Structure 1
Amino acid sequence: MTNRTTMVSKVLSANDIGDTGGHQAGILVPKDERILSFFPSLSPREKNPRVSLVFFEDDGITRWTFNFIYYNNRFFGGTRNEYRLTCMTKYLRGRNAHVGDVLLMSRDPEGRLSVEIKRNNIPALTEDDVLVLSGGWKVIRI
């Protein structure tokens, strides 16, 4: 384990929170190693590998289980080749997430995962601490 807290964030879109009426399978995670390194490694040799991740809220008691999935069936005769974070609908609705809110996920030095929604603003950090990536995702160094 590292001795630093690792965080990633995603500005939520209408599609992410279900406002478009689409039936997407969770939030798309970019194939950027800086984002993917936050999540456990998934084997590309296995069809659609997945792992369940337990995240805690700030109270340290409320927990949510999300799935991190590599939909790689393109290499097994299908069409998809993407990473997704799924099983988040109940959490996002329960926290009354809106377009523009920020989904903030962190992993502490002991490996404990935390999740929170920041309302329509990005955490107050210096430019040196934030690496802006495509699709509303960011890597935050603390």
Structure 2
Amino acid sequence: MKLPSLISKILSANDAGETGAHQAGILIPKSSGVISFFPHLNAEEYNPRVHLFFTDAAGERWEFAFIYYNNRLHGRGTRNEYRLTRMTPYFHRHNLKPGDEIILKRSERDHFSIEHHRKCQAERTAGGVLRLSAGWKIIDI
């Protein structure tokens, strides 16, 4: 199976920190190929994590943490989810807002990079509500 080398996510208001809710990073879906972009984490460990260094277009390095919050599996809580954390400084530096897109790339040699695009597509529902597309996607190149 070919691992994805490029994934993207349209930021929600929660991702961008605009809801005031506390969260630990961006949720990574377990059931999609998106999770295979990241290094494998051992579920037998309690809340395993790996720190990943991403480089942006200006050459600046950003340290993010990929974490499997698995408290539920260890009888210590209810969480059973993957998250990419420590992204707030990147979001603030680039003034990212809901609807903006982050693009994560991984080279064949496991060098990671990040870029972003400002929101560009929005649609109005029948009731006139503005809806931004959201979610992760794998981009085949």
TM-score by length of 1: 0.84
Q: How far did 1:43 drift?
A: 0.6
Give deviations 1:78-114, integer Å, cap 9, x for gaps.
1100000000101101111011000100011221100
Matched with 1:129 is none
Aligned length: 128
More helix by share: 1
Report the equivalent of 1:140.
139
Which of 1 and 2 has greater Rg? Answer: 2
CA contact (8 A) 1:5 1:108 kept: no
Per-residue Cα deviation, 1:101-135 (whole angstroms, up to 9, x for no partner): 0010001122110001111137xxxxxxxxxxxx6
Question: Are the aligned partners of 2:4 and 2:36 in contact in 1 as well (CA < 8 Å)?
Answer: no
Q: Does 1:121 align with 2:107?
A: no
**Matches of 1:121 and 1:68 in 2, distance apart?**
28
CA distance, structure 1, for counterparts of residue 15 and residue 102 of structure 2:
10
- 1:21 is aligned to 20
Q: Calculate percent identity across the aligned residue pairs.
A: 51
- Alignment partner for residue 63 of structure 2, among 59, 65, 80? 65
CA RMSD of aligned residues (A): 1.9
> Which amino acid in structure 2 is aligned with residue 46 of structure 1?
E
Q: Distance in 2 between matches of 1:71 and 1:5?
A: 23
Runs of 4+ in 1 over 3 A off after TM superposition: none
In structure 2, C-alpha distance between the alignment counterparts of 1:85 and 1:113, rounded to whole Å:
13
TM-aligned CA deviation for residue 9 of structure 1: 0.5
Structure 1 gap ranges (5+):
123-134
Partner of 2:11: 12
Alignment gaps of 5+ in structure 2: 122-133
Matches within 5 A, 1:33-48: 33-48=32-47
Aligned to 2:30: 31
